[in-house]
Chain A
Amino acid sequence: DQQVKQNSPSLSVQEGRISILNCDYTNSMFDYFLWYKKYPAEGPTFLISISSIKDKNEDGRFTVFLNKSAKHLSLHIVPSQPGDSAVYFCAASYTGTASKLTFGTGTRLQVTL
C-alpha cells in the first residue's frame, strides 16, 4: 500500500524554467511533509518541509505547496539549474509515529542546458 505517491518517475526541464514536482498521499493523518534531493550512491539531502497548518513554505528557489483537501503537495524550483538534476523524494509523517517517514517513489529531474 503506497501511502505516498509520486506518479511522474521522471521530468525534464530547461535551465532557467520552473520545475514542478508533484506528490500525492492517501493517509489523512499525515501532518508534516518533506522534500529530499538525492544523488546516486549518496544519502538524501533535506530541502524543505511544510506543516499541515500551512499551505505554502518558501526557501530561496524552493517553494512547497500543500493542498490538504486534495491530499497533494508540490515542489517548485525556480529558476531550475543543471545542479538541480537529481532524484527528488517527498516524504510524510504524522505526530505519534516516532518521526517515522513514509517516502514516495521518487522523481528523477533532469535540467537541460
Chain B
Amino acid sequence: GAVVSQHPSRVICKSGTSVKIECRSLDFQATTMFWYRQFPKKSLMLMATSNEGSKATYEQGVEKDKFLINHASLTLSTLTVTSAHPEDSSFYICSAGAGSQRGRTDTQYFGPGTRLTVL
C-alpha cells in the first residue's frame, strides 16, 4: 500500500522547452503532495507543498513562475519546468501525505523520481 508513481522516469529536453512531470498516489488520496529536488550527493531539497484545489506554497528561493505546480485532484499533482535550462537538470521527486487513514499525515510516501536532463 501507499504507492506513489511518477512519470516520466527520465526525460531529456532542449534548452527553452517546458517539461511536465506527473505524480500520482495510486492507492490512497493525498490532500497534500510535495515536490523535492535532489542534487548529486546532497539531501532532498523541498521545493513546494501542493494542496489539492489551492495554490502551491513555494520554499524560499524557488521560482514559482519557473516551476509550475498543479494539484488538480486528490491523486494527481504535476510539476512543469518552464523554459528549462541546463542548470535545471536534476533529480525531481514527489511525495504524497498518506492522510489520517494511514496514521499521521506527516508520513510521506515518495515516488521513484524523474531524472531531467536539459541540453
| A32, A43, A49: residue with the most chain B Cβ atoms closer than 10 Å | A43
**Chain B neighbourhood of A49, CB < 8 A:** 104, 106-107
Provide the main secondary structure of the chain B interface.
Answer: strand
User: What is the interface size of chain B, counting residues whose CB is below 8 A from a CB of the partner?
Assistant: 28
Tell me, in angstroms, the Cα distance from A82 to B108 when the chains sit together: 26
B50 to chain A, nearest CB (A): 10
Contact B110 A45 (CB under 8 A): yes
A99 to chain B, nearest CB (A): 5
Mask, B16-50, CB within 8 Å of A = 1, is 00000000000000001010000000111010010
Of chain A, the residue at the smallest CB distance from B45 is A103
**Chain B neighbourhood of A46, CB < 8 A:** 2, 107-110
Q: Check: A110 CB closer than 8 A to any chain B CB.
A: no
Partner of B49, one of A34, A36, A41, A100: A100
Q: A41-B91, A89-B43, A89-B44 are in contact. Are A99 and B105 (CB under 8 A)?
A: yes
Mask, A45-87, CB within 8 Å of B = 1, is 1100101000000000000000000000000000000000000
Of chain A, the residue at the smallest CB distance from B98 is A46
Residues of chain A at the chain B interface (Cβ within 8 Å): 32, 34, 36, 41-46, 49, 51, 89, 93, 98-101, 103-106
Complex A-B, nearest 9 residue pairs according to Cβ-Cβ distance, in ascending order: A43-B110, A93-B106, A32-B106, A99-B106, A44-B110, A103-B43, A43-B113, A105-B43, A43-B112
Residues of chain B at the chain A interface (Cβ within 8 Å): 2, 4, 6, 32, 34, 42-44, 46, 49, 51, 57, 91, 93-95, 97, 104-113, 115
23 examples of A-B residue contacts, CB within 8 angstroms: A32-B106, A34-B106, A34-B107, A34-B108, A36-B110, A42-B113, A43-B94, A44-B44, A44-B93, A44-B95, A46-B107, A46-B108, A49-B107, A51-B104, A89-B44, A93-B106, A98-B57, A99-B105, A100-B46, A100-B49, A101-B34, A101-B106, A106-B43
